[in-house]
A and B are shown apart, each in its own frame.
Chain A
Amino acid sequence: MVRAASPLAFDRVTKVHGAGPTAVRALGPVSFAVAPGEFVAIMGPSGSGKSTLLGLAGALDTPTEGTVSIEGHDLSALTPGALAALRRRTIGYVFQDLNLLPGLTAVENAALPLELDGASIPAARSEALAALEAVDLARLAHRFPDDLSGGERQRVAIARAFVGPRSLLLADEPTGALDSLTGERVLALLRAQCDRGLTAVLVTHDAAHAAWADRILFLRDGAIVDESRPAR
């Protein structure tokens, strides 16, 4: 069931790669909606369609069938320019690695969506610095990614993902390349942002990490097979 103005909603979404005898159904049909401020974890084994789901949610890919909506807007009805604007202003994305532009400093990476949206350099950097402070990285603002540890890079990526007025954060195995302690720190950050009103969707194969979420959706072979709400 699609709820109006839900930060993220999937309605009978299917994704098929290829065509004819080599076609592979990567996802679907799936339907779910995320409430504002909700932290949802997507779990499942390798090849279950988790990353495909997150790519569709982040408007990085288009569904073969069905509708993906962000804040009530059907993504398939938006122009490429409008989709880009959505990614600048509404959606924040965190990958497992290769999140940052190596040629920009930490504060410049965090300010990137704001600068792309036309904010002046001083204003964008000021907000980015505030975001870095929230993730306890303000002191490393002027370092380049090559000079940061893996955990520090992920925290910069998270800062970029929620800088500005964005409302939806999508994270694809953000702790996959990190040690367990650092991973816990990253998830605590996500949780803190959700407690402040941000909506987040986390893809993970680690149950301990999924336990940070308000709701867990289980994927297998491209379909949602179960749902649970961890005790908090």
Chain B
Amino acid sequence: MNGRDPFAAVRALARVELRALRAHPRRALLLVVLVAVPVAAVAGAGTMLGVLTPSREERRTQAMGRADLVIEAPAGHADLLRATPHLPPDVRVARIAQGAESVVAGGLRLHARLVAAEAATLAPGAPVEGLVVLRAGRAPVDAGEVALSPSLLEGLGVDLGDRVSLAYGGPRVVTGVVVEPEAIDAPLVLRTPSLVEAKGTERLLITVGDPGRAKRLAGRLRDAGLRTSERAAIVSTDDAVAAIVLALGSIGFAEAGLVIAAALGVTLRRRRREIGLLGACGAPPAAVAAAIVISTALLALCAGVAGAVLGNAIAWGLHPFYDAWTGRLNGPFVLSPGHAIAGVGLGVVAAAVAAALPAIAAARVPIRDALGGRRPGASTPRATPAFALGALALGLGLGFAPPLRALVGAGPSVIGGALLVVAGLGLAVPWLLETGARLASAVPLVPRLALRDAGRFRARNAPVVAAILAGMATSVTIAALIASARGALDAFPAIYRDDQLVFEGAAAEEAARTLAATSSHVLAVAPYRVAATNGMPVVARLDSTGAARQRGHREPWVAVGDDTLLTVLGADAARADFAQGRLLALDPPDGTRSVRFQDGPRGAELATHDVVSVATGRRVAGPAYVLGLAAAERSGHEAAPPPGRGLVPWYVRLDAPVTARDLAVARALAEKRPGTSVDAALAQDEPVRRIHGIVLLLCLATGLVVLLVAAALSNAESEGDLHTLRTVGAPPAVLRGYRAARTGFLALLGSALAVPAGLVPAVRILADANVDVPFVLPWREILAGLVLLPLVASGLAWLLAGDGGRRVTRALT
């Protein structure tokens, strides 16, 4: 016949496949879940992170509102006057001052960040729009009005319409509620600008409208000696987030693909006779295989679309909580179609690739064997050990051979090396299973049956072990990095002394004094304030004529206070010098004799002071210098909260290192006071431990799911063997023990191989890091993988060996 359609066989067979799926819909359930879940995770996480991650435009608005240009005016009004002649008449100009302020009401005094701007400049399209956001009420329009942030209103116990006093502005009526978009919980004061701003820094925000004009104007302003920033110059975005989501999602798809391959292999073996019939009717093997792959891919497409919808629905449902979680205004919910499409695409590809090998194997079984139900003998291709060794060698070479690393580059070496090591160990699994089966003769019956079964069905078990290997290797890598980082953190200065508690918030002083009154272990309490001039913190720089060049580990601020501050900071040894008004330098570099005071990090030089060096015996990142309050005031400085903190934190020093109980007592005090928190060195690594715990749990959970699917598949394939065991009188405990041992062995093999696979990239990453982080073996996590996973998996397989498990088996296959 002429004009034969070359794809007719594939289409016909694909119809047969899809009808088979419709006839046994539960067979599809496993594949649907394995594809839909990672797609949902990628699509949902991509959308969430897209909303949570500031866009380029949001970053520009953070820096300069709606303005095209910003002129910094360190000299205050004088700089503003110099700029005015250069500005075209049609541009919109807004003057804004930013600094620190104190708000007083009802006997309470709270410190906050200050923004001074005209109400009109906050309107939509005006230059200051977006720098601060009005949540309620209106912006202040004259010197008798002010807008406060929600945290200030709550801390002071005031509301719209109430009166408060500003330390640098007198009494005002609260007319509005205002927040900083990037820190909605931070204390903020918005008022109208004064004619002369005595504190803080002033800026001119200029809206030009045309980017080209803005660029030319910026050039003219710079030529006039004015510090000018352009909106177009802010270009950074956080593309790393999207890449991380897709990278993690790819690992999930790879594991899903391995399990799909195992499950499909079992299903196709059960359909041997049916496939044999197709061959007997003239279906070409290639068409049979193609039809299986196509039907799997189509099913994966449907599952992926469902997963994308589900993931985005979850992201949308959680949207109302984004602001509370992140402490910033995150904007409206916007879908990330790129992640959804990528997720669906990856799901389809993973399913199709996973289906290919079992489909080809099933289609190539001789028709007579397939019709007779004869199972083809298991064999490992001779080339597989060679490929495994080759991949391992190349992976280790990329990790540790300098010429190879130089050729490929550091980053690709780490990733490529890790992937090749995992691939190499994965390729070695069939050979390892076969070897285990061969060596099982002297082993007792139940483990012998498990080893022989694992080896016999290695075509199905190898992908399962590889999936465990990939997942647990990720956990081992992360565990090694975290364990090493935690070990290295000891070499870095801690934020606080181990005997300090730090209260922050509106009621920090009250909480600290309450703790001192109720505990006999408190040596001293003191506020941590720094010397400031014109609202800017004084920065002390080492005098270049005296000091050694090594970097100090402390912050360059000058803490001001009384004797209690000395005790809190552990500098009692210099009490006499402190009383004389001398400047103390805490744990300075060798040879330090004097420092220069600056007005802010990039400000003008103020004065040079001799220092008295004090050794506190602790490597902490606290203030580097201490000065008496009276001495600071004589030098023209005032006391302000440390940079980056709107309110003055209160330090409490105990007579011994802080214990978990001490921290719990302090936390209880803080929780009773809204907006107040407590911190300590002990609490610093809690987030790291929490993250690591979550990662480990996720990897164990993933491994368990994979193993339980494997257990169900194993049960499906060994029904005949189980029947034989029953007829020769195997007690139920032996039948369950056989199935449990089989699952436990697969888990143990995967976990054991995951140890070298996970440690290799960790060692490489640490060696390449710019900081000196010695490698620390995460033995606890390794033991958890080697012991916990096999035990739990065996236990669950034991439990599933009953009728419930048989129903699950039938459903899956």
Contacts and interface: CB of A to CB of B under 8 A. Distances in A.
Interface stretch (A7-15, A24-32, A64-72, A93-101): A93-101
B455 A103 contact: yes
A115 B449 CA distance: 12
Contact of A84 (B444, B723, B729): B729
B453 A84 contact: no
Given A115-B445, A116-B445, A87 B452 contact: no
B135 interface: no
Interface residues of B, number: 25
Contact of A100 (B452, B724, B730, B731): B724
B456 A103 contact: yes
A104 interface: yes
Contacts of A115: 445
Interface in B443-464: 444-445, 448-449, 452-453, 455-456
Contacts of A102: 456, 721
Contacts of A84: 726, 729-732
A104 B444 CA distance: 12
Nearest to B732: A80
A184 B448 CA distance: 34
B724 A98 contact: yes
Contacts of B377: 146
Contact of B729 (A89, A99, A108): A89
Contacts of A85: 729, 731
A87 B727 contact: yes
A174 interface: no
B639 to A, nearest CB: 80
Nearest to B455: A103
B442 interface: yes
B317 interface: no
- Report which residue of B441, B442, B445, B725 has the largest number of chain A beta carbons within 10 angstroms of its beta carbon: B445
A86 B730 CA distance: 10
Contacts of A88: 728-730
Interface residues of A, number: 30
A103 B724 contact: no
B444 A121 contact: yes
A26 to B, nearest CB: 19
A128 B398 CA distance: 53
B728 A93 contact: yes
B437 interface: yes
Interface in A191-217: none
Contacts of A60: 726-727
A102 B721 CA distance: 8
A85 to B, nearest CB: 6
B799 to A, nearest CB: 18
Contacts of B732: 80-81, 84
Interface string B594-609: 0000000000000000
B488 interface: no
Interface string B693-737: 000000000000000000000000000110111111111101000
Given A116-B734, A146-B377, A101 B727 contact: no
Contact of B724 (A81, A99, A121): A99
A136 interface: no
Contacts of B734: 116
A62 B702 CA distance: 42
B729 A121 contact: no
B743 to A, nearest CB: 16
A113 to B, nearest CB: 5
Nearest to A107: B441
Nearest to A85: B729
A99 B725 CA distance: 10
A101 B721 contact: yes
B720 A98 contact: yes
A23 B444 CA distance: 44
A112 B449 CA distance: 11
A116 B444 contact: no
Given A102-B721, A121-B442, A112 B728 contact: yes
B448 to A, nearest CB: 8
A117 interface: yes
Given A103-B449, A103-B456, A104-B452, A116 B729 contact: yes
A91 B728 CA distance: 8
Contact of A101 (B441, B444, B724): B724
B357 to A, nearest CB: 22
A44 to B, nearest CB: 22
B179 to A, nearest CB: 68
A60 B456 CA distance: 27
A58 interface: yes
Contacts of A113: 728-729
A103 B452 contact: yes
A108 B723 CA distance: 17
Given A99-B724, A101-B449, A103-B437, A116 B455 contact: no
22 contacts: A60-B726, A80-B732, A81-B731, A84-B732, A87-B726, A87-B729, A88-B728, A88-B730, A93-B727, A98-B724, A99-B724, A102-B721, A103-B449, A103-B453, A103-B455, A104-B452, A112-B445, A112-B728, A113-B729, A115-B445, A116-B728, A121-B445
Interface of A: 58, 60, 80-81, 84-89, 91, 93, 95, 98-105, 108, 112-113, 115-117, 121, 146, 160
User: 7 closest A-B pairs (Cβ-Cβ)?
Assistant: A88-B729, A103-B452, A87-B729, A93-B727, A84-B731, A115-B445, A113-B728
